[in-house]
Amino acid sequence: MPICVIGINHKTATTAEREGFTVAESEYKNTIEQLCNHPNIDAAAVVSTCNRTEFYLSLVKLNNWQNTAKEALSIDLASKAFYHYLDAACAAHLFTVTAGVDSLVLGETQIQGQVKRAFESSHSVTQNSEFHQLYQMALKTAKAVRSDTEIGKNPVSVAHCSVQLSRQIFGDLAQQNVLIIGAGETAELIMRYLINHGAQKITVANRTHSKAEKLASFFDKESHSLNDLPQLLPQNDLVFTATASPVALVTRNQTEQAIKQRKHKPMVMIDLSVPRDIEPSIKSMDDVFLYTVDDLQQVITENMNKRESMVESAKRIIDAEAELFAQWQKRQRHHDLLKQLQQRVTADKEQLLAKHLPKDLSQHHQQKIETMAHQLSKKHSHHSITALRKVIESGNEDHIKLMAEVFDLSMNNTK
């Protein structure tokens, strides 16, 4: 069956435009079921993140597939906010996404888990051979890109670099009390990276407590409002800030009081905000180690340059895997022709045996002759079957039709 992807992402649309098409992971199954109610959609998958929403569809027929998209998704493909790819190009796109090559942060790995959950949801609703193969090859390609290039070896987001810095300072994060001030995308990334590196005691604080509660509850962590900062600061060894506040939220006076309550046990503060959330004068305090975006920027720039140098190598791997998927898809699309030819060979063999095999032979001799007949038919049909398979993999429909005529095979049953 033909496949396509229809998507909107950070490169083609604003956040406001993307918001209208976001699908929560908890709604994947319901969305897939609704899409599969369309008569031209055999299977569907949804990949929806803060930077993209993509709908992967396995189509019953390719004719008027744009109308299918409009009817099932209410999307006008003439809009510049949306992109769409078919078959091999669709596979190449998914492979690029899964490998982190199409991400806002080049080479990030979080997208692999998101793609995995998307296709697991699809698999739980409907079984589809194209999607199964597509998903397996996407994971394989992402693994190859990460193992054969260095695209993901150097952290390039301020969130990732800040957590790496904290690991260099503390070593084991499991024993540290961590406070995250903010509840946006950067705060969520910090939370994910911290948890991935063993941090357990994490608290989220935000001006709007409901947002802090939403982020914290997703990871089963504690939440507070900013009014609780005077009580929270003394309790935490590591403080991250990532808000859009126009004024400093952590003052020198608050920090001095916190250090006194901590009996001068050192604190590490990492301010990822512009404007800054933490008063710059805190940097001069003896028992506080304050880092800002500027302290991380040089490392980020160097690492991004290293990652970008790996993009061409990653694309070569992706293109090669997409071509393999295209060949598989062509074999599947005309698999019935190969099956017909193999059945024809078997039927001819059985007919000859039934006509010429003497009835009075012993079972032992009958088996020998049948084995010989099988080997001969296999040997003589090998070149024909191989030639047909190569023509199918070429994708040339005229040549495929000609081969079908030569072998007197029916094209009516092929997809």
Q: Is position 4 annotated as part of the catalytic site?
A: no
Runs of H (alpha helix) within 84-208: 87-98, 110-125, 129-148, 158-170, 185-196
Q: Are 267 and 234 in contact (CB under 8 A)?
A: no
d(C-alpha 354, C-alpha 369), whole Å: 12
**Lookup: tokens for 320:** 């090669």
Q: Map tokens 């970008």 to a residue.
A: 308
d(C-alpha 97, C-alpha 290), whole Å: 35
Catalytic residue among 4, 50, 90, 161: 50
Q: Which residues of 106-126 are buried (b: 16+ CB within 10 A; e: fewer)?
A: bbbbebbeebeebbebbbebb
State how far the alpha carbon of 180 is from the alpha carbons of 46, 231, 333, in Å: 31, 14, 52
**Lookup: tokens for 309:** 């140098």
Q: Map tokens 């900062």 to a residue.
A: 229
d(C-alpha 291, C-alpha 293), whole Å: 7
Q: How would you list the strands of the sheet with 83-86, edge to edge?
A: 41-48, 52-59, 3-9, 83-86
Just list the catalytic residues.
50
